[in-house]
Amino acid sequence: MADERTRYFRRLGKLRRSARRWSVLAGGLGGATAILTPYAGIGLGDAAWAAAAGAATALAAWRWSDLRTLAAQPAPPALDPAQAAARSRARLVAAVERLPAGAGVVNEVRRARSRSALRGTTAAGPWERLDRAAATMAGMSVRLTGLAEPAVAEAAEAERSLRELASRVASVERAVRLAPADARPPLAEAHQALTGQLADGVAAYERLVVAAAGYLAEEYRPELEHPAAARLTEATDLLHGFASALAEL
């Protein structure tokens, strides 16, 4: 999709071509009116030629006026290549997400990219656990309604925070490897504290997922028969009764 600068020059060229086209048409119709009117006298056809010439002339004047107004405006600045690439990437992702299975594909690509970025760091293990727990939570979230809705919102916010924390742990760990010997102890201490926070946060998220599963399980307690199973049992008994009646008949 074109940027503002490209759209500006595209519109400018379109107006210029339109103005030239209407100018040529107005000149042709005006010349035909000037020649044919004295040739055969003024009649109904001559009025039509004159009206067409006048309309074409007015449209040509309006197009030239619009062209001058647009040309007087400064052209938008050229877009930075990095910004252009980011916009193109965002439009491509949005187009893919509109497809039936596009959102799942985009999410899987993002997870693979994050997994690759954390590979070889201490944050990789907790990130894998968080990813599995988040996938389980996503499968249950559509059925967690009523009193459980605040917990679903809290889980989504916690997931985003923990993923950001995992990226921070990996960044600090790489900085520790590159830092000189005298600067490593503070970074190592910070890395250890962040790693502990990440582990505790992932464990708390897993407990939340387990609690959500327990909430769903309580909706259909084992001692209660599922409505679908009850209907199937009734239908089976009904068919057995029909079969017995037919056999007796």
Report residue 1's pLDDT band, with 50, 70 and 90 as the boundaries.
very low
Contacts of 9 (CB under 8 A, 6+ apart): 75
What CA–CA distance (Å, rounded) separates 45 from 53? 12
CA angle at 241 for the pair 240 and 246, rounded to the nearest 5°: 100
**Tokens representing residue 18 in the block:** 């339109």
Tell me the per-residue pLDDT of 49-93, one tens digit each, with 9 for 90 and over.
777 878 888 888 888 888 888 888 887 776 666 666 666 666 665
Per-residue pLDDT of 45-56, as tens digits, reads: 667 777 787 888
Residue-wise burial string across 12-41, b where 16 or more C-beta atoms lie within 10 A, e elsewhere: eeebeebbeebbebbeebbeebeeebeeee
User: For residue 77, what is the DSSP state?
Assistant: P
- For residues 187 and 175, the answer to whether their CB atoms sit within 8 Å is yes
User: pTM above the 0.75 mark?
Assistant: no
Instruction: Judge whether 58 and 92 are in contact, CB under 8 Å.
Output: no
Q: Residue 209: CB partners within 8 Å, gap ≥ 6?
A: 133, 136, 137, 140, 155
Cα separations in angstroms, 129 against 26, 41, 113, 173? 74, 93, 16, 19
The mean pLDDT of 105-114, rounded to a whole number, is 66
pLDDT for 89-99, tens place per residue? 666 656 655 66
